[in-house]
Chains A and B, each alone.
Chain A
Amino acid sequence: SAVISQKPSRDICQRGTSLTIQCQVDSQVTMMFWYRQQPGQSLTLIATANQGSEATYESGFVIDKFPISRPNLTFSTLTVSNMSPEDSSIYLCSVEVSGASTDTQYFGPGTRLTVL
């Protein structure tokens, strides 16, 4: 398994501002991901954070709005830019832990964002 921490755990922000969320894992991992969970909804993948290269974004998500950094194998950041109330969600990072023939993803505790 993996122990994952996120900062901040929650924040209330004004529209038009940006927030950077940090994700730290206790061991080196190849794959890190960022998800969004809108109120009362399931999880939706935003992007895969690639170490040493640009993140891979899912349909409906763009780099200008959600820039991602992945400077090493234990850390990543997600920025929510030019926020609007529609960005109010829980943002979660996850990491993939690989076995010989199995993959499992573990999640951080999430960052609850409220945009006024």
Chain B
Amino acid sequence: GQQLNQSPQSMFIQEGEDVSMNCTSSSIFNTWLWYKQDPGEGPVLLIALYKAGELTSNGRLTAQFGITRKDSFLNISASIPSDVGIYFCAGANFGNEKLTFGTGTRLTIIP
């Protein structure tokens, strides 16, 4: 099935650095969701975006819904060890409940 393209595929950063990742699609979505998955756990919802151009924050996390509705961005400021994990974007269209997931970005913090 279709998957959204996420980049980068992996990131190796030092604690305290800011992180940026993005997600692109060939088709339009009217909902973008960002999840974080820790090893052995299910994905946990971080941020939900419902409007083109919307910029939403959740603590140190900020996500934006692209104007074209074909992309979304997630930023993490001042990374800490518990930010380690895999981040997935997911797109959906209201009225069609299926989520299309991105390929994931694995975040590793170098001591």
Which residues of A approach B to under 8 Å, CB–CB?
1, 4, 31, 33, 42-45, 48, 58-60, 92, 94, 96, 101-110, 112
Contact = CB atoms under 8 A, between A and B. Distances in A.
A103 B31 CA distance: 8
Given A103-B97, A110-B41, A42 B48 contact: no
B43 A43 contact: yes
Size range of the chain B interface in the assembly: 20 to 34
Contacts of A58: 1, 98
A17 to B, nearest CB: 23
Contacts of B80: none
A101 B98 contact: no
Contacts of A60: 1
A112 to B, nearest CB: 7
Most buried by A among B40, B42, B50, B94: B42
Nearest to A42: B101
Nearest to A106: B45
A8 to B, nearest CB: 13
Interface string B28-51: 000101010000111111001010
A58 to B, nearest CB: 7
A70 to B, nearest CB: 14
B107 interface: no
A112 B42 CA distance: 10
